Amino acid sequence: MAEAQLCGIDAIELRLDLLGGFPRLKGIAGHRPFIATARHPKEGGNNGLTTERRLELLSASMPFAAFVDLELQFWEELSPILRMARKSGVRVIASFHDLSETPSITALLRRVFLAKQFGADIFKVATYLNSPSDLARLLHLLDYTTSLLPIAVMGMGPLGTVSRLALARCGSTLNYGWLVRPVVPGQWPAKKLAARLKEVA
C-alpha cells in the first residue's frame, strides 16, 4: 500500500473476515499500527467464519497488532484472544454493531458499563441511524460516558456521513473510513474523512 494512500490516517483496521487468504501482516504493520478483527456474521461479518476460524485468524495477528476488536456479545468465546492480547500488550476494543437500528440510551449505556467491567481499553459502537433522534442518542452517549473509558461512536445509513463528522468532533476516539471500498452505508473514504476532520477541528 502506497504511503500517499495513508496520508492523514493513523491506523488501519484489518478485517480478517473479508480477506480471501491470510495477509502478510508484517508488511502491513510496517505502514501503520493496525486493528485486527474477524467479525462475527451476526455483527456484519463476511464469509460465515466459525468461532474456531476466528480464533485462528486473530491468534495469528497478535504478534503484529496494536489493537484487537472483539465483539462484546462474544466476549466469552473469544476469551483466549483476550488473554493473548493482555500478555502481549495489545489493546482491546470491545465492540457492538447494530445494522438495523440504534438501541435506547439505556441499552447502550448497559453495554458501555459491561465493556468497562470486562476491562476493555476502548468501547466501540456502530449503529444504523433511521432518524435524527438516533444521532442525538449517540451524541448523548458520548456526553454520558467519555469519563468512563475512551469510546468510538459512529452511525451507518443515510445519516452516517454527517454523523461521523459530528461524533468525531464531539469526542469519538476512533473514526473510521474506507481504503478499498465502503463496507457499510455512510462511511467516508478515509483520506477525505481525515481532511474534513482537520477542517472542523
Q: What is the pLDDT of residues 167-188, one digit of tens each?
A: 999 999 999 999 888 888 899 9
The three cell numbers of residue 91 are 489493546
Dist CA 113 CA 84 (whole Å) = 23
Whether the CB-CB separation of 78 and 49 falls below 8 Å is answered with: no
State pLDDT tens for residues 8-20.
778 889 899 988 5
Query: How does pLDDT run across 82-113, given as a tens digit for each residue?
Result: 999 999 999 999 999 999 999 999 999 999 99
Q: Does pLDDT of 24 surpass 70?
A: no
Number of domains in the chain: 1
User: Which residue matches cell numbers 495489545?
Assistant: 90
Residue 55: pLDDT over 80: yes
Can you tell me the distance from the alpha carbon of 4 to that of 197, in angstroms, rounded to the nearest whole number?
18
Burial of 184 (0-12, 13-18, 19+ CB in 10 A): middle
Q: How far apart are CA 192 and CA 16, in angstroms?
A: 24
Q: Which residues are catalytic?
A: 97, 124
The closest alpha carbon to 100, from 39, 182, 156, belongs to 156
Report the C-alpha gap between 189 and 46 in whole angstroms.
20
Q: How far apart are CA 192 and CA 130, in angstroms?
A: 24
Range of the domain at 124: 3-200
The reported pLDDT for the residue numbered 161 is: 95
Residue 158: C-alpha distances to residues 7, 92, 195 (Å): 27, 30, 21
Which CATH number is 89's domain given?
3.20.20.70
pLDDT at position 21 is: 58
Give the pLDDT band (50/70/90) at residue 39. Answer: very high
List, in sequence order, every beta strand (DSSP E) within the chain: 12-15, 34-37, 67-71, 91-98, 122-128, 151-156, 177-178, 188-189
Residue 124 has pLDDT above 90, yes or no: yes
pTM for this prediction: 0.91
- pLDDT score at 3: 54
